[in-house]
Structure 1
């Protein structure tokens, strides 16, 4: 008998599985609203001009391909800290932030999970929003955490259940890790405002919970600083320890380069140094060190005042297009006699919890070759001026 005879088939990823089904669909007019990638008006992943300029310079100045340090490119880590916390942040001046370059945001999550599990031991618990990105559950469960949930999305109002969220957090045991989406909540598109963030942080502080902020979409809602409101409020709150992971996949359109980072905040410089040592030890056991190219691209843009300005304009263009697609979808749905979908315009980022049922989603796929997740989550960035009316007409049809 084979050594692997007892291996069971792992469940497929619902998002990647949907994409596979979409690719296999022979329909000439199929539309994929399940994808988690920003695409432009032509349906292409954009190549940012600011990034292209750095890449051309790197190609000209060819260097040996040695290993990066375990924690990655030093300039990348410094510039990441400044982007997340603000260049003048007292946390940075005090040396309280331990940052390491990681292989995308997913590796940042897993490395952080492993480090936190070592600290918390057998009783490690993490509270995750209901709903959340599915990989959050898998990563922390695999790392040995007990998974808890807190109320987040209110289906009736298509908005934030702030009362339920605060009540659930107020019942958590001290030391529980609380996973938070900094902005552009995936999958709902529903975010707290600044006042609600302060309420959340007050409960986290009072209950002695550990905030763990995942920011994959900085700049995709209101702008770089505004989208970091949760992080900036945490930094000013007096909470001595928290965690931030971030990704540049969306904001730099560098999905395949896997550029992310993990930042762990300690109470002082010495604690941050000890945290960095544990981060590096953990990275060494998983992938040893990160790759060079993507980090060099990001650092090249962020480290140049001219290129950073150009990048912010390009990022602003992507953000504006998403806002326009939200408004356009609401307008076209109304024109086709659909129920009120005005809430879509108040949501943030690439994704929207559309309110469509599983049955309606399946009708969209089977009758109109329009693909969305069974939860009703759609990617607003996949809309464009050419398919907007088609999508709105189909959604209106399945709502009748």
Structure 2
């Protein structure tokens, strides 16, 4: 049977990681893989996470299953973290998932169950796994304009024009904050216009919020998601705890389904539990329990927020340093967008050939579409990257 299998395309980011490992140069810089790194190149365990794990270790007396949707306490703290009081809790069905990717996958399967003919509108570009999973499930994907390679900002006129072609039964996939891979975000007025189009077309928004707290602040990064959820009759939200809690390997995420009528919540909740059962039965609990412990304890939550804010400001500082160094070397402000972007990523807006030149000649590793992980830099490597960019003629 196995002889009929065909080779699958290699994951470009994982291939880049392997190439970086095999590169003998001491001056090489890894801006590919999307994980936060501190100034020493380490992805540390946050203080609050260590303290929460200690509390769990001391108090937990069973490893029995929690439930198909996970521990309800995890759903409660995550709904509060992402939505605040924007939507009544009784209108939100929620289920824990293996990471934010698991939430995205479950959301797409829910869409397919609800409307087999649904089209999912995705930004150009978007996180590659969005398109890969949609393709695997056989869901029609429609690309909408998003990134302007000239300004390195949002092509908002193109975005609105494309979203106006959506119709009732379609889904519009939006990034809640810190757009991956571009780092370019909508402003408040632009979000209002997107909501207006969603209401006019009847399309359902799905928000992927994977970087809450990495952009403008924990509450600020949730503003757009809350605004959309409060304005539309139905909404899907896929949230990840990997980045803002630093628990990547614990695979901790959640899918929320919001309806205007709380009488629909029971059906939605049952459907989310059913999907979990079909795909992996019970979701992992350790990461979810860490998050629940932190968000339920005033002292741990306060310490977590302090450390998260340190992470956020570190990335903003690196952005500013890089933009300033590029301005000094080029005598131009054409790289000012780097200081305006938010989150871990920015997209240079250059060609794959130039990206390859950076790797071969300068040991700078970034994804072929010119997405670079700002958190992969430190104060010493920023000048190295800036010089490589200018020397390469970007």
TM-score range, shorter chain: over 0.9
SS at 2:180's partner residue?
Answer: coil
Q: Which of 21, 24, 28 is 1:23 aligned to?
A: 21
- Counterpart of 1:59 in structure 2 is 57
- Please point out which of 244, 247, 253 is paired with 1:251: 244
Root-mean-square deviation (CA), in Å? 1.2
- CA drift of 1:338 comes to 6.7
5+ long unaligned stretches in structure 1: none
Q: With structure 2 as the length reference, what TM-score do the two structures score?
A: 0.97
Alignment partner of 1:201 is 2:198: no
Task: Tell me if the contact between 1:361 and 1:374 (Cα under 8 Å) persists in the aligned partners.
Answer: yes
Measured against aligned partners, the alpha-carbon deviations of 1:231-273 in whole angstroms (never above 9, x if no partner) come to 2112331x11110010010000000000100000022222111
Runs of 4+ in 1 over 3 A off after TM superposition: none
Task: Check 1:262–1:385 CA distance in 2 against 1; reply closer, same or farther (3 A cut).
Answer: same
Residue of structure 1 equivalent to 2:124: 130
Residue matched to 1:284: 277
The answer to whether the 8 A contact 1:85-1:232 is kept is yes
The equivalent position to 2:387 in structure 1, one of 374, 389, 393, is 393
Partner SS for 2:4 = coil
After superposition, the Cα gap between the structure-2 partners of 1:260 and 1:338, relative to the gap in structure 1 and judged at 3 Å, is farther
Q: CA deviation at 1:17?
A: 1.1
Does residue 97 (structure 1) correspond to residue 95 (structure 2)? The answer is no
Q: Verify: 1:337 aligned to 2:334, yes or no.
A: no
Q: 1:74 aligns with which of 68, 72, 75?
A: 72
TM-score by length of 1: 0.96
Contact 1:338–1:396 (CA<8 Å) still a contact in 2? no
Aligned partner of 1:371 in structure 2 is 365
- Residue of structure 1 in register with 2:3 after alignment: 5
Cα offset for 1:96?
Answer: 0.5
- Pairing partner for 2:182 from 179, 184, 188: 188
- Per the alignment, do residues 394 and 338 of structure 1 end up closer, same or farther by CA in structure 2, a change over 3 Å counting? farther
Q: CA–CA distance in 2 between the matches of 1:169 and 1:286?
A: 31
Is the contact made by 1:246 and 1:260 (CA closer than 8 Å) also made in structure 2?
Answer: yes
Please, which of 257, 260, 273 is the counterpart of residue 267 of structure 1?
260
- Call closer, same or farther: CA 1:338–1:369 in 2, change over 3 Å: farther
Does residue 380 of the first structure (1) align with residue 371 of the second (2)?
A: no
- Cα 1:379–1:394 change in 2 (3 A) is same
Distance 1:63 1:74 in 2: 18
SS at match of 1:80: helix
Shift of 1:52: 0.9
Match of 1:38 in 2: 36
Query: In structure 2, which of residues 84, 109, 113 is the aligned counterpart of residue 114 of structure 1?
Result: 109
Are 2:229 and 2:258, in contact at CA under 8 Å, matched by a contact in 1?
no
Structure 2 stretches of 5 or more lacking a match? none
Query: Distance in 2 between the 1:264 and 1:168 partners?
Result: 25
Tell me the alpha carbon deviations over residues 256-312 of structure 1, each in whole angstroms, 9 at most, x when there is no partner: 000100000022222111011011111101100111211111001001111111111
